[in-house]
Structure 1
Amino acid sequence: MHFVKAKGIFTSDYGINLYRGCTHGCIYCDSRSEVYHLNHKFEDIEVKENAVELLKKELIKRKPFMVVTGAMTDPYVPIEMRLKHVRKCLELIYRYGYGFSCLTKSDLILRDLDLLKKINEKTKVVVQITLTTADDDLCRVIEPNVCPTSKRVEVLKKLDENNIPAVVWLSPILPHINDSEDNINSILDYCVDTNVKAVLNLDMGFSLRPGNRDYFYKKLDENFPGLKERYIDEFGEKNFIYSKNNRKLKGLINDRCRKHGMLYKQEEIIDYVHEFPSNSVQSKLI
């Protein structure tokens, strides 16, 4: 972990990243890719030490909208337990009447359930949870340093109990690892049981670009002997690879989502997450 002074806090689409880098250890993580020009070891998390101060300055002067986080780095990495930067930002978001959405794999988000409830009562909260496999043992292999699927399902249940809408990111799907019909159906069962609002799947595949390709292949050698060679034979140097079951599994998701009233179209889900409610109770306290 190391600290930096940030010049700004918002991305072009009003996202925030309080940390850069991650210790979850997911074997497929695209944030390792060279295109992001990370100038430090990925596990040496960069902390924007002035992020909370910057956020306050921006929230005071703007009209409220949905503040989103988690696009590049999971906001609930373990150091958040000590630093509490996310929680401090949530306090500001509540105080100044903004909405909030985040993408995470961690059950640490339940630490902030009290604030999420307060924000959701005042404006809007959408929690986005990644589910890749219904098998906890496989989850511990491909996402080794974060809570397994069963714990994330408990998060979804708790959110449902507190009327906080959830979106499940059913991705990434790794060919020959988690691209089975049984796996997709089991994850969708969890989504139905916990009344999630939407299921987002961009495609049955994932990006495999320079920077994360070497790391992924190293982990295949460690955990799935012989699979790296199969990937090389099938996909070569492609930057995005698809499961041979892509069309069938996408159809399965769409059919079950329609049946159970869950959003599944990418544009509709993105619009839902970013739409700020017009009837929110707003306050601008300095």
Structure 2
Amino acid sequence: MHYTTVKTILSPTNGMNLYRGCSHGCIYCDSRSNVYQMNHEFEDIEVKKNSLELLKKSLKNKRQKVMVGTGSMADPYMPIEKRLEYTRNALKLIYKYGHGFTCITKSDLILRDLDLIKKINETTKSVVQMTLTTADEDLCKILEPNVCSTKRRVEVLKILNKNNIPSVVWLCPILPFINDNEENINKILDYCIDSNVKGILSFQMGLTLRDGNREYFYKKLDENFSGLKDKYITHFKSNYHAPSPNNSKLMRIFYKRTNDAGIMNKPNDIFSYLHELPAKNETKQTTLI
């Protein structure tokens, strides 16, 4: 872990990353890609020391209320958050200044902040986005070794639902020749339906590989799936997109089951929902007790 000072914290679309790098160890993580120009080891988490000061200033000065998002590049609920509480303190600011909140995570640590997420949702809007890739618990330990299991994440989704917090599931990546099978997709969809999720994001079945994350992914394939790296190289060469050979069949299952269950399944619709802050009574600045 190391600290850095930054000039800005919110993007033009009101996204933020309080940390840079990640310790979850997911073998497919795109955030490892060289394109992001990370100048430190990925597991050496960069903590943006002045991020909360910048966030306070930005939120306080916004004329319109917005949805503040986090988690696109680094999970806001990595183990380091348990001690530092940057995400929790950001939630306090979001609530204080009457904005909405959404995040992407794989961690059950988010339940620690359920009190604040509920308060924000009562005043404006909260949406929790959870990534699910495999229903096989043993495979989950290989693909996502340092984070809670799929079953635990589903428990989190159900707890959120009981507390009237809407959720969206990222059904990706689906790795060719590993978890791109009907049994896996149907089981994850079962989980989503049972948890009453609002939407499921799928960008077709497959994954993306760029310089940086490709090398790490192939290293992990060699460690855990003998011979599979050569199969990837044969099928996908150095292409950015590695689509599942089962994509068409699996996407038909995905669309049929989500349509039947009344679950949002079009990425543009879901992203519009995540960015939309419903018109409510004018929110007064709130003091946390």
Q: Which TM-score applies when normalising by structure 2?
A: 0.97
CA distance in 1, matches of 2:252, 2:127: 25
Name the residue aligned to 1:152.
Answer: 153
* Secondary structure, aligned partner of 1:153: helix
Name the residue aligned to 1:277.
Answer: 278
Name the residue aligned to 2:263.
Answer: 262
How many residue pairs align between the two structures? 286
Identical aligned pairs, as a percentage? 60
The letter for the 2-side match of 1:10 is L
> Aligned-pair distance for 1:285?
5.9
CA distance in 1, matches of 2:32, 2:282: 40
Could you say what the CA RMSD is over the residues aligned between the two structures, in angstroms?
1.0
The letter for the 1-side match of 2:149 is P
Provide closer, same or farther for how the CA distance between residues 212 and 201 of structure 1 changes in structure 2, counting only shifts above 3 A. same
* Residues 106, 131 of structure 2: 8 Å contact kept: yes
Instruction: Kindly report which structure 2 residues correspond to 1:157-196, keeping only aligned pairs within 5 A, or say none.
Output: 157-196=158-197
> Aligned-pair distance for 1:284?
3.3
* Residues 98, 286 of structure 2: 8 Å contact kept: no
* Secondary structure, aligned partner of 2:127: strand
CA distance in 1, matches of 2:9, 2:148: 28
Instruction: Kindly report which structure 2 residues correspond to 1:74-93, keeping only aligned pairs within 5 A, or say none.
Output: 74-93=75-94
Is residue 131 from structure 1 mapped to residue 132 from structure 2 by the alignment? Answer: yes
CA distance in 1, matches of 2:78, 2:158: 21
CA distance in 2, matches of 1:33, 1:5: 22
* Residues 4, 47 of structure 2: 8 Å contact kept: yes
* Structure 1 gap ranges (5+): none
Tell me the alpha carbon deviations over residues 237-269 of structure 1, each in whole angstroms, 9 at most, x when there is no partner: 111110001111111111111100000001100
* Residues 192, 260 of structure 1: 8 Å contact kept: yes
Name the residue aligned to 2:45.
Answer: 45
CA distance in 2, matches of 1:251, 1:73: 31
CA distance in 1, matches of 2:65, 2:100: 7
Tell me the alpha carbon deviations over residues 170-223 of structure 1, each in whole angstroms, 9 at most, x when there is no partner: 000100001001000000000000100001001111111110111101100100
* Secondary structure, aligned partner of 2:79: coil
Provide closer, same or farther for how the CA distance between residues 59 and 249 of structure 1 changes in structure 2, counting only shifts above 3 A. same
Provide closer, same or farther for how the CA distance between residues 266 and 245 of structure 1 changes in structure 2, counting only shifts above 3 A. same
* Residues 95, 286 of structure 2: 8 Å contact kept: no
* Residues 123, 280 of structure 1: 8 Å contact kept: no
* Secondary structure, aligned partner of 2:251: helix
Runs of 4 or more consecutive aligned structure 1 residues displaced over 4 Å after TM superposition: none
The letter for the 2-side match of 1:97 is G
* Residues 105, 152 of structure 1: 8 Å contact kept: yes
Tell me the alpha carbon deviations over residues 28-82 of structure 1, each in whole angstroms, 9 at most, x when there is no partner: 0000001111110000010001111110001111021100001111111110000
* Secondary structure, aligned partner of 1:279: coil
Is residue 7 from structure 1 mapped to residue 10 from structure 2 by the alignment? Answer: no
* Secondary structure, aligned partner of 2:265: coil
Name the residue aligned to 2:67.
Answer: 66
CA distance in 2, matches of 1:102, 1:208: 24
> Aligned-pair distance for 1:281?
4.8
Provide closer, same or farther for how the CA distance between residues 134 and 280 of structure 1 changes in structure 2, counting only shifts above 3 A. farther
Is residue 112 from structure 1 mapped to residue 113 from structure 2 by the alignment? Answer: yes
* Secondary structure, aligned partner of 1:79: helix
